[in-house]
Structure 1
Amino acid sequence: MSALLQLSKLIDALSERIGRWASWLVLAAVLISAINAVVRKAFNVSSNAYLEIQWYLFAAMFLLAAGYTMLRQEHVKIDVILHRFTKRTQIKIEIFGIVAFLFPLVLVVIDLSWPLVVKAWLTGEMSSNAGGLIRWPVYAMLPIGFALLGLQGISELIKRVAFLKGLIDDPTEKKLAKTAEEELAEAIRAAAEGAKK
């Protein structure tokens, strides 16, 4: 079990790193949106590429950070009935959910979306909008995002089994950490201070 817990820690570290990186995509999308608005109003110049890159960034933020969201225990859970059970029963139900629902969903989405990515890559599929972008990068976000979610699901499954065996503390407890917005603001401040030096 210790080897599996080490694997879980590696997956958690990967999800944490990707989640932090994906948070920067929010800033990129906001900057592109602001620049697009200013250029369109000031110079009467616009391109569909600016709009599409914002959609691509949103897809990347949402899909690449799905595993990170699961790591942070921030996915929506419907606990109307679940909270009435003991913690061990709750964990057993979550194990069932991961195995019976999460893993099959991940496999089906990857299986169905991967051929679309390959086809778009091979054909060089472009947006039908004038000045639009190539499509395969945004299509690729779907299988990549679900693969990362599946990896985090493996980590969560390992942690829940370890909890039932008494090897670790409750993995469903939310860590009292800073919000993503607070972390992003600190990273921007640190980058600005680093640039001054």
Structure 2
Amino acid sequence: MLLIRLIDGINEIVGRIVAFVAVIFALMIIYDVVMRYGFNAPTLWAFDLTKQLFGFYFVLLGGYALRHQAHVRVDLVTEKLSPGVRRVVDVLGYLIFFFPFAWVFTTRSWEFAMRSLNQGETTYGAIQLPVYPVKIAMAVAAALLLLQGVSELLKLILNKPEPHHVG
């Protein structure tokens, strides 16, 4: 189904791009440590910026993790069920728990981000970095998670097996 491929593809691309943030994040920490302990010249910006990059990294991978079934699941009850019953339980789980949570997460984080943007919110560190990019990323991440939930629900309803992933 085109919608499933589109949503899965978006989260796959976002996940792979965000993975590069981890490399940037690590390089910044190494740079800061070398400057601090090697040259006794700590940076003023590294702490706040690495916190923000970690925020981007952490929140934007939610949809990617759901796509690859990497979220923590408690399968103690469902592992003993037949595949058909397990699918029904999973569908009900998405409808009763996941979608209400994802909807509230998406709408509230969007409001949170827009408030931060409108106020021009910044960090309190030595260098005042804007906070709204991370909060906007949180709203985007919530929307990506919600969309991936739609894809996963459609796969369950249509009884589509998960394709093999290359990567």
TM-score by length of 1: 0.79
Structure 2 counterpart of 1:14, one-letter code = I
Q: How does 1:1-197 map to 2 (within 5 A)?
A: 5-163=1-159, 168=160, 170-171=161-162, 175=164, 178=167
Q: Provide closer, same or farther for how the CA distance between residues 118 and 96 of structure 1 changes in structure 2, counting only shifts above 3 A.
A: same
Q: CA RMSD of the aligned region, Å?
A: 1.6
User: Residue 130 of structure 2 aligns to a residue in which SS?
Assistant: coil
Matched letter for residue 132 of structure 1? Q
**Matches of 1:158 and 1:108, distance apart in 2:** 21
Give the letter for the 2:17 counterpart. Answer: W
Q: 1:144 to 1:129 in 2, by over 3 A?
A: same
Q: How far is the alpha carbon of 1:136 from its aligned partner? A: 0.4
Rounded to whole Å, the distance in 2 between the matches of 1:81 and 1:7 is 31
Instruction: State the one-letter code of the partner of 1:130.
Output: A
Q: Is the 8 A contact 1:47 1:131 kept in 2?
A: no
CA displacement at 1:110 relative to structure 2: 2.1
Equivalent residues, number: 167
1:11, 1:152 within 8 Å by CA — same for their partners in 2? yes
Cα deviation code 1:119-157 (max 9, x no counterpart): 221221111122131110111122111100011101011
Q: Which amino acid aligns with 1:51?
A: F
User: Contact 1:125/1:135 (CA < 8 Å) preserved in 2?
Assistant: yes
Q: Say if 1:48 and 1:132, in contact at 8 Å, map to a contact too.
A: no
Query: Which runs of no fewer than 5 residues in structure 2 stay unpaired?
Result: none
Unaligned runs of 5+ in 1: 179-197
Deviation at 1:177, TM superposition (A): 5.1
Deviations 1:26-84 (A, max 9, x none): 11100000011111223322344211221111111121111111111111110111100
Change (3 A) 1:87 1:77: same
Q: In structure 1, what is the Cα distance between the partners aligned to 2:119 and 2:165? A: 47
TM-score between both structures, scaled by the size of structure 2: 0.92
